[in-house]
Amino acid sequence: MSRIGKKPIPLASGVTVTVAAGTVTVQGPKGTLTMDHRPEVTVTVNNDDKQIEVAGVDDAKATRAFWGMTRALINNMVVGVTAGFQKDLDINGVGWNANVQGRTLALNVGYADTRKLDIPMGVDVEVSGARVKVSGTDKQAVGEFAAKVRAQRPPEPYNAKGIKYADEVIVRKEGKAFATGG
């Protein structure tokens, strides 16, 4: 039995969920998200109790895995259309900065050229000083774009330069120590 899959997903006020032909659609104040679920699981909406229930069709190992994963993905959809998701990135480096030009994020992070990343639909990017805020309703899209931004110049442990998540801790390393004596 899936421990996560057994928990019902509570619905906040203003959120409507429809399930039809293997597709789950969640509508809320921040937008609409759609997902196709696996045939090994069933998704039912209980409007009386204001909750969604996910169940497996049998007790196979793969079914239990899909059951828990489907429940987690639908829960992320509900959270996304009500509160949304956000990732904050810090740019550390002298003269390094970022700015948004239309639907493109331009990064000046120590290279000879400016790195330009196209911002996907459903993702919003704000730049204030050396902080880049990536937000949106789809948790996967927000995390993926934040990882692409971080990959342009990952943080290095010697000078602490690079792009890092705001809550990430970079363990600093000591440089080479010169040996005395012979």
175 within some domain: no
What CATH number is given to the structural domain containing 29? Answer: 3.90.930.12
Structural domain boundaries enclosing 115: 85-165
Per-residue pLDDT tens digits for 35-49: 999 999 999 999 889
Helix 139-151 and helix 61-82, axial crossing angle in degrees, nearest 10: 90
Same domain assignment for residues 97 and 157: yes
Q: Cβ neighbours of residue 91 under 8 Å, at least 6 residues apart?
A: 97, 98, 107, 109, 130, 131, 132, 163
How far apart are alpha carbons 71 and 120 in whole angstroms?
25
Per-residue pLDDT tens digits for 133-164: 999 999 999 999 999 999 999 999 998 899 99
Number of domains in the chain: 2
179 within some domain: no
173 within some domain: no
Per-residue pLDDT tens digits for 49-59: 999 999 999 98
178 within some domain: no
pTM over cut 0.95: no
Same domain assignment for residues 66 and 90: no
Same domain assignment for residues 75 and 105: no
Angle at 94 between CA 93 and CA 98, to 5 degrees: 65
Q: Cβ neighbours of residue 25 under 8 Å, at least 6 residues apart?
A: 17, 18, 19, 32, 33, 34
182 within some domain: no
177 within some domain: no
Same domain assignment for residues 13 and 31: yes
Same domain assignment for residues 40 and 59: yes
